[in-house]
Amino acid sequence: MDLDELYRQHSRTVYRYLMSLSGDCHLAEELTQETMFRAVMNIGSFRGECGVSVWLCQIAKHLWYETRRKRRRTVPLEEAVLAEAAEDPAEALGDRETAEQLLRQLHALEEPYKEVFLLHALGDVPLRDISRLFGKSDSWARVTYYRAKARIARRWKEENDGKAGV
């Protein structure tokens, strides 16, 4: 499989998965390209035990973690504070608050719920492929995904009910 074919077939899934992790379209695009490059360079290590998109999302996840570790060491605190302060407060409200609240709920999930939810809901990875990735049954993936959704919904309701009473 060449880079063009791999990119054409799977880049959207990888990009959406990375967007769900990073929330940064430029970083997601950059990491998508790096993911595809690494996949082509290491295609011999693909054993076929899961779908190609699952394998690519695993590569993408490792790249995301690697990027986070590097950024944590290199971005000075003052620079991060200035970047936050430069945002327009009017634009930062509304949908951003809702998105941040949902992301908090998602990231509060324990594994494997978080990863299954991210892969399926935001990465468009079929539950069948997710079950293979984890070495579990298809029903395990469906139940895990359903439980993740239920936990997010319950926490969302608890958090918003608490705000309504204030």
pLDDT in tens, 20-39: 888 888 888 888 888 888 88
By mean pLDDT, which of 46-55, 83-92, 135-144 is the weakest? 83-92
Dihedral-angle region of residue 58 (phi above 0 means left; psi in -120 to 50 means alpha; beta otherwise):
alpha
pLDDT in tens, 94-127: 456 767 777 777 778 888 888 888 888 777 778 8
End of a domain among 51, 86, 121? 86
Do 127 and 138 sit in the same domain of this protein? yes
pLDDT for residue 2? 61
Average pLDDT of the residues of the chain: 76
Q: Which of 58, 24, 26, 20 is nearest to 39 (CA)?
A: 58
pLDDT for residue 162? 64
Taking the model in full, what pTM does it have? 0.45
Do 105 and 95 sit in the same domain of this protein? yes
Do 81 and 92 sit in the same domain of this protein? no
End of a domain among 42, 61, 86? 86
